């Protein structure tokens, strides 16, 4: 480090430089606390959907932590100047893909998810390269409608988990609901009545409280933790990879939507922390990096990656953009991912605890969509776009087999009948292009 490298208390508000340890460590841990639930929960949800063994579930959690660390480092330190945004963001395994991943996993298996993930990563890379030209198809109205639909489609998953997990001995049990509601109450209280680390870590703290209560109620099983190793590297291709065209198309559409959400997150980061809009190169690099990590992750049994909006929120509040802070958070997650015993402990979290904690996350996703939709007012045109898109997207998936009758090829039901997000996305894009623009939009 040369003598011109900035140091001192102001360094945290600069991209380069090394902050003092008293600032670096708590600021880095703050991002870890905000992200960790979002990293591990998708792996648990998809592992349960696909009926994986405990060993495979541990592996998926381990890989999720490692991939999040690597994806974040890639965004902080771009490769070849084109892969990675070079912006202060946390990128990792995302909730936004879950509805479609669950639909594919339930109809096929994890191997099909991983194959579709590779294709989706390629789609994201192409989107990133041509982001300047594709971006106009996804104004806030379209993106908000899709995000709103994602939130709605996640509610049944949260409620099933709050009830104890479908198919488990605790499903519908009073104990499950008591633990879930206490967990939810802690999250709500901390989110709305506290500040600082307690507010940022509300979901994590809620899960810890719920876990302790569940343990004393006899719901937690720790028998498998002792046999887990202290250190292990992720394995290359631990699962089979299969390519089912219908599943690839379905997930590819969701990748496009999440690429648009990445644009929003990167824009919020630069506006909130740097007082500027991101450049086209930064947007392109961020989305290309997202696609590259998704492809790489699939070969190690990981799930799709996206930027973390909760960590973007931290940046907009505290204005800390120093990449050393984010690099420390990534390194902490990387170390955690190399310890299978830690991942094994995470698999013992009861489903009622996960449900009680994540229903607030899913509610936040839904309300984020509403906020984007109503930006600049709510007009009859917006009502038509949102109402029809959500009605068809959610309605079709709630009527089992409505697209699998005579005359429909099998792939139609897989692409359009299994995930509300796909239909809602296509309808929102189409209606936004066809319906007459409002006077303000024309201007």
pLDDT digits (tens, 9 = 90+) for 325-357: 899 989 988 988 888 887 777 778 788 888 888
Question: pLDDT higher for 233 or 124?
Answer: 124
- Taking residues 271-278, what's their average pLDDT? 78
At residue 442, does pLDDT exceed 70? no
Q: Is residue 289 part of a domain?
A: yes
At residue 308, does pLDDT exceed 90? no
At residue 286, does pLDDT exceed 80? yes
For residues 194-220, one letter each, b for 16 or more C-beta atoms within 10 angstroms of the residue's C-beta and e for the rest, the string is eeebeebbbbbbbbbbbbebbeebebb
The predicted structure's pLDDT at residue 5: 47
Least confident of 3-12, 176-185, 232-241, 409-418: 3-12
Local confidence band at 292 (pLDDT 50, 70, 90 cut-offs)? very high
Local confidence band at 4 (pLDDT 50, 70, 90 cut-offs)? very low
Cα-based distances in Å from 116 to 156, 185, 409, 437: 24, 37, 19, 35
pTM: 0.76
Tens of pLDDT, residues 53-68: 888 888 888 899 899 9
Instruction: Tally the domains of the chain.
Output: 1
Q: Is residue 1 part of a domain?
A: no
- Taking residues 307-313, what's their average pLDDT? 74
Domain, as residue range, for 143: 13-442
At residue 188, does pLDDT exceed 60? yes
Q: Is residue 123 part of a domain?
A: yes
Q: Is residue 207 part of a domain?
A: yes
- Taking residues 371-383, what's their average pLDDT? 85
Q: Is residue 149 part of a domain?
A: yes
At residue 1, does pLDDT exceed 70? no
Least confident of 153-157, 357-361, 439-443: 439-443
Closest C-alpha among 379, 367, 356, 359 to residue 440: 379
Calculate the average pLDDT of the chain.
83
Distance, CA of 8 to CA of 406 (rounded, Å): 70
At residue 6, does pLDDT exceed 70? no
First to last CA, the chain: 51
Local confidence band at 3 (pLDDT 50, 70, 90 cut-offs)? very low
The predicted structure's pLDDT at residue 116: 93
Q: Is residue 4 part of a domain?
A: no
Q: Detail the DSSP E strand segments found in 308-418.
A: none
Q: Is residue 199 part of a domain?
A: yes
Q: Is residue 6 part of a domain?
A: no
The predicted structure's pLDDT at residue 313: 67
Distance, CA of 130 to CA of 120 (rounded, Å): 15
Element (DSSP H or E) covering residue 98: helix 98-107
Residue 395, token pair as written in the block: 């309605």
Percentage of the chain surpassing pLDDT 90? 19
């Amino acid at each position: 480090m040369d003598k011109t490298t900035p140091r001192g208390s102001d360094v945290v508000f600069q991209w380069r430089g090394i902050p003092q340890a008293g600032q670096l460590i708590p600021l880095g841990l703050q991002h870890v606390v905000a992200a960790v639930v979002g990293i591990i929960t998708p792996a648990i949800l998809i592992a349960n959907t696909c009926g994986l063994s405990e060993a495979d579930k541990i592996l998926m959690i381990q890989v999720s932590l490692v991939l999040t660390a690597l994806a974040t480092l890639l965004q902080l330190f771009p490769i070849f100047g084109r892969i990675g945004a070079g912006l202060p963001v946390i990128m990792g395994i995302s909730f936004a893909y879950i509805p479609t991943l669950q639909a594919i996993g339930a109809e096929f298996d994890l191997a099909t998810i991983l194959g579709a993930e590779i294709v989706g990563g390629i789609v994201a890379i192409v989107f990133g390269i041509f982001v300047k030209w594709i971006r106009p198809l996804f104004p806030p109205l379209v993106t908000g409608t899709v995000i709103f639909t994602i939130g709605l489609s996640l509610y049944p998953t949260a409620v099933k988990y709050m009830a104890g997990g479908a198919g488990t001995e605790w499903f519908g049990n009073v104990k499950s609901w008591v633990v879930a509601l206490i967990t939810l109450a802690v999250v709500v209280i901390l989110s709305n009545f506290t500040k600082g680390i307690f507010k940022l870590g509300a979901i994590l703290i809620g899960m810890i409280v719920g876990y302790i209560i569940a343990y004393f109620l006899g719901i937690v099983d720790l028998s498998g933790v002792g046999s887990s190793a202290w250190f292990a590297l992720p394995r290359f291709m631990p699962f089979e990879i299969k390519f089912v065209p219908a599943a690839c198309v379905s997930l590819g559409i969701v990748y496009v939507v999440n690429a648009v959400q990445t644009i929003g997150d990167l824009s919020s980061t630069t506006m909130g922390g740097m007082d500027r809009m991101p450049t086209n190169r930064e947007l392109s690099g961020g989305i290309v990096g997202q696609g590259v990590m998704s492809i790489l992750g699939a070969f190690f049994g990981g799930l799709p990656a996206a930027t973390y909006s909760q960590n973007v929120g931290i940046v907009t509040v505290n204005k800390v953009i120093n990449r050393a802070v984010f690099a420390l958070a990534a390194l902490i997650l990387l170390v955690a991912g190399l310890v299978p015993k830690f991942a094994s402990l995470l698999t013992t979290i009861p489903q009622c605890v996960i449900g009680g904690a994540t229903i607030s996350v899913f509610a936040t996703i839904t309300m984020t969509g509403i906020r984007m939709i109503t930006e600049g007012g709510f007009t009859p045109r917006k009502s038509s776009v949102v109402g029809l898109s959500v009605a068809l997207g959610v309605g079709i998936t709630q009527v089992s087999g409505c697209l699998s009758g005579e005359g429909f090829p099998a792939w139609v039901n897989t692409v359009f009948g299994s995930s509300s997000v796909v239909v809602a996305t296509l309808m929102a894009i189409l209606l936004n292009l066809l319906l007459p623009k409002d006077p303000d939009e024309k201007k």
